[in-house]
Amino acid sequence: METLHTTLLIIGGGPGGYVAGIRAGQLNVPTILVEGASPGGTCLNIGCIPSKALIHAADEFCKARSYAAETSPLGITGSEPRIDLERTVAWKDGIVKKLTGGVGALLKKNGVKLVEGWATILDGKTVEVRQEGDAEASVRIRCEHMLLAAGSVPVELPFMPFGGPVISSTEALSPSGVPQRLVVVGAGYIGLELGTAYRKLGAQVTVVEAADRILPAYDADLVKPVAAALGRLGVELRLGTSVLGMDGSNVRVRDASGVEALLEADCVLVAVGRKPRTTGWGLENLMLDMDGRAIKVDNQCRTSMRNVWAIGDLAGEPMLAHRAMAQGEMVAEIVSGKRRHFEPAAIPAVCFTDPEIVVVGMSPLDADKAGIEIVTANFPFSANGRAMTIESTDGFVRVVARKSDHRIIGWQAVGGAVSELAAGFTQSIELGAQLEDIAGTIHAHPTLGEAVQEAALRALGHALHI
């Protein structure tokens, strides 16, 4: 068996792993990255990118249908539209292929050796990699530093395993057709993003959620515009309802009062979360300290074993690609000899529902629980000219600042295209901005960003347009 030697060995080519590889290569650290599928991991291949592509296609189809129904206030009409789902999926796959190919090119450009295959950990310095479909073709890799970046997998319900009509987000992103009746189990961001897309593509969608409202991880004010939009689309919500399993082709559910019912379904999307990928690749051989399902790490992403690191979803919440990227970059720099710690002031989270939700830093409730006296204000998009021109006036921008010194500690927004405000929100917190800094910054007109300035102005007591 061939044996390779390297300074840094990265297991997993997702956002965290490939960014770590690129940065390590830039710093002249000999690096090998092992990936069993295409570079880019869940995010690029079967997650963030393809889901946003499908959401966009569904939005465009939904708009075209509204024009055919002669309901558009813009005065646009058209003939009855159709969608060729095979072409839609091919377009989505083309985007994925372009991005994953770009990742591979960047790794090569920076001198990172990409080994295609599935790694099995033998010890803290050694892995064995087998090639897909060829048990005889394997290679052993020895390293000084091992970076674990294996990502996560969808949570499977034991009484409703994946297979047949029961699918995960992976299968939902490559549909061969639109089911007539789709039941979505879980009203978190994955379930609602994909459930909304399928509704816009023409499916009858029912969402089942055990909590008493959708998006239970987000505060109620942010969720209201999303719930209203789901109602207008005709998505049926079964809240406070538990799923019991399949009964033939039906989904058996029980509501809060104990009443059971059957929901007809041609397809069932189970979207009840993700869990770190900790089994099937020899991780147990390292006997690392764990934090629940995740690997326990410190603020440098070090595990309990010297020179073994873990990043991204494998290291627990928040399971966000941009968090993994930042951690991967940091680990590469530490391995190269730089001093770094992972201590971000804030990590943005975006829910790509319709309308979108952005959360950065503390909400008013978070601040109250932490005993921080605050000043907070929101500015509605109904008073924003740009929001009116893109027909997206539901929602608002909210700022949260310490009362003592007006230092901004949080931003929240819900509305059309508010994901694009996330960078500015995060940057203001990282730079320690005060309300006066945002209020005194000239914002371009007409843009959604004006609502950011107006929220700060309103918190100071003198909003201009409300």
Task: Spell out the domain ranges in the chain.
Answer: 2-53+86-153+275-335, 156-272, 349-459
Using alpha carbons, select from 92, 99, 167 the residue that is nearest to residue 321.
Answer: 99
In 3D space, the residue among 382, 383, 364, 366 whose CA is nearest the CA of residue 374 turns out to be 364
Assess contact for 130 and 65: CB atoms under 8 A. Answer: no
Reading the block at residue 78, the tokens are 């058209």
Q: Give the separation between CA 198 and CA 204, rounded to whole angstroms.
A: 8
Cα–Cα dist 388/228, whole Å: 18
Q: Using 50, 70 and 90 to split pLDDT, how confident is the model at 429?
A: very high
Q: What is the pLDDT of residues 125-159, one digit of tens each?
A: 999 999 776 666 789 999 999 999 999 999 999 99
Please give the Cα distance from 301 to 172 (Å, whole number). 33
Q: pTM of the prediction?
A: 0.94
**Does pLDDT of 112 surpass 90?**
yes
Average pLDDT on 109-123 reads 96
- Tell me the HSE value of 426 on the side-chain side, using a 13 A CA sphere: 15
Cα torsion angle, 318, 319, 323, 324, sign: positive
**pLDDT at residue 74, rounded to an integer:** 85
Q: What is the mean pLDDT of residues 402-409?
A: 98
Note the pLDDT tens digit of each residue in 347-384: 999 999 999 999 999 999 999 999 999 999 999 999 99
Residue 299's contacts (CB-CB under 8 Å, 6 or more residues apart) are 341, 342, 343
Answer whether 20's CB lies under 8 Å from 311's CB. Answer: yes
| pLDDT tens digits along 222-235 | 999 999 999 999 99
Q: Which residues pair with 359 in a beta bridge?
A: 349, 412
Mean pLDDT of the chain: 96
- d(C-alpha 395, C-alpha 380), whole Å: 6
Report how far apart, in Å, the C-alpha atoms of 369 and of each of 30, 93, 374, 407 are. 46, 44, 12, 18
Return the pLDDT at 133. Answer: 64
CA dihedral 192, 195, 199, 201 (to 10 degrees): 120
Does the pLDDT at position 435 exceed 90?
yes
Question: Could you tell me the two tokens for 328?
Answer: 């991967």
Tell me whether the CATH fold assigned to 2-53+86-153+275-335 matches the one assigned to 349-459. Answer: no
Q: Which residues are catalytic?
A: 445
pLDDT score, position 131: 78
* Measured distance CA(296)–CA(273) in Å, rounded: 20
Query: In this structure, which amino acid lies at residue 91?
Result: W
**Residues 287-305 pLDDT 10s:** 999 999 999 999 999 999 9
CA distance 326 to 149: 13
Q: What is the CATH number of domain 156-272?
A: 3.50.50.60
Q: What is the pLDDT of residue 457?
A: 98
- Among 160, 189, 366, which Cα is nearest to 265's? 160
For residue 177, pLDDT beyond 80: yes
Q: Give the mean model confidence (pLDDT) for residues 421-429.
A: 98
CA distance 251 to 247: 6
**Do 366 and 410 form a contact (C-beta atoms < 8 A)?**
yes
The tokens 């296609």 sit on which residue?
57
The residues that bridge with 188 in the sheet, in sequence order, are none
267 has pLDDT over 90: yes
Q: Which fold has domain 349-459?
A: Enolase-like; domain 1 (3.30.390)
Say yes or no to pLDDT of 465 above 90: yes
Predicted confidence at residue 66, as pLDDT, reads: 87
Express as a percent the part of the chain with pLDDT over 90.
Answer: 92
Q: Residue 331: what pLDDT?
A: 98
CA 29 – CA 335 distance, rounded (Å): 8
pLDDT at residue 1 is higher than 70: yes
Compute CA distances 376 → 362, 369, 407, whole Å.
11, 15, 11
Q: Which two tokens stand for residue 437?
A: 């800094």
Which of 58-67, 70-79, 403-412 has the highest average model confidence (pLDDT)?
403-412
Q: Which amino acid is at 274?
A: R
* Separation in Å, CA 127 to CA 11, 148, 374: 9, 11, 51
What is the fold of 2-53+86-153+275-335?
FAD/NAD(P)-binding domain (3.50.50)
